[in-house]
Amino acid sequence: MRTLKRLFQSFGRPRQSRLHPFDRAHGTDTGGLIPADRLRTPHPSSAHITAYYPMSPSRFQGAIDLWLRSPPTHPIEQHTFVDLGCGKGRALLLASELPFRQALGVELHPRLVAIARRNLCRWQAAHRDRCPTGVLQADAADLRLPPGPCLLYLFHPFAEPVTRRLINHLRSQQPASLDIIYFNPEAAALWLNQPEIRLLWSEVLPMSPEDAAADPVANPDDLCHGYRWTRPPNEPAEVQPRSIPQHSH
């Protein structure tokens, strides 16, 4: 879970810009490192944005494979995929290639929303999407879940204050079928303290050689957690941290 530290250190180091093979192949703009202080807006939640940094395709596929093996309580075709803090939309584009009921990216920063929408238009023009897909400009912590089973995806997009709000907002909706993929789970303690949450996995996801060569700061030890929201709460639970499990072997 040292990716953010490595990102911040890397901003001060000169390096040659690398175009990720994903963007080279598809003519998209999903790469780059954008520190949190360049993503500030008047919205109060923007003070808790961590940074923009895209997920590698091989690790995204690894996370989806873990979820499919969990297994989900409903077929993938009945699930809505929701990327909270979707940034430029790389994970959203990858999800749209899968047979989800629909795929939705949620992003607060207007510039990232505009880039994600342009990427999605290019993606759809190439007929790569297999499900209805869209990008919503909104605070992820205020999102009303779509009806039916949902799979939330987070690449540690925001810090604990917004995570706390998100958990409490989800609780207020009493989701009947909700799974969560959380990569680089810096706020895992908040999730794991909730009585509704069951840990499905805690794994290190390998990167393909192609992704590793294109990624200047990836930490090979970063964890991916999978959670399942298992039951409506009987009473409100206080969001307090607890110890974080090590990855399984």
| Residue-level pLDDT at 54 | 93
Q: Please, what is the average pLDDT of the chain?
A: 88
Number of folded domains that form the chain? 1
Amino acid code (one letter) for 160: E
pLDDT one-digit tens code per residue, 146-163: 999 999 999 999 999 999
Neighbours of 59 (CB within 10 A): 23
For residue 9, is pLDDT > 60?
A: no
Q: Tell me, what CATH number does 38's domain have? A: 3.40.50.150
DSSP secondary structure code for residue 46 in this structure: G
CA 18/CA 129 separation, integer angstroms: 26
Q: Is residue 53 part of a domain?
A: yes
Angle (nearest 5°) at CA 93 between 88 and 95: 125
Q: Is residue 18 part of a domain?
A: no
Task: Indicate the range of 26-30, 36-40, 113-117, 183-187 predicted with least confidence.
Answer: 36-40
Query: Residue 50: which pLDDT band, with cuts at 50, 70 and 90?
Result: confident
Q: Who's near 47: CB < 8 A, 6+ residues apart?
A: 40
Neighbours of 163 (CB within 10 A): 26
Please give the residue range of the domain that contains residue 79: 33-229
Q: Is residue 126 part of a domain?
A: yes
| Residue-level pLDDT at 17 | 52
The residue with greater pLDDT, 233 or 12, is 233
| Average pLDDT of span 211-229 | 91
Q: Is residue 37 part of a domain?
A: yes
| Residue-level pLDDT at 2 | 46
Q: Is residue 245 part of a domain?
A: no
The length of the chain in residues reads 249
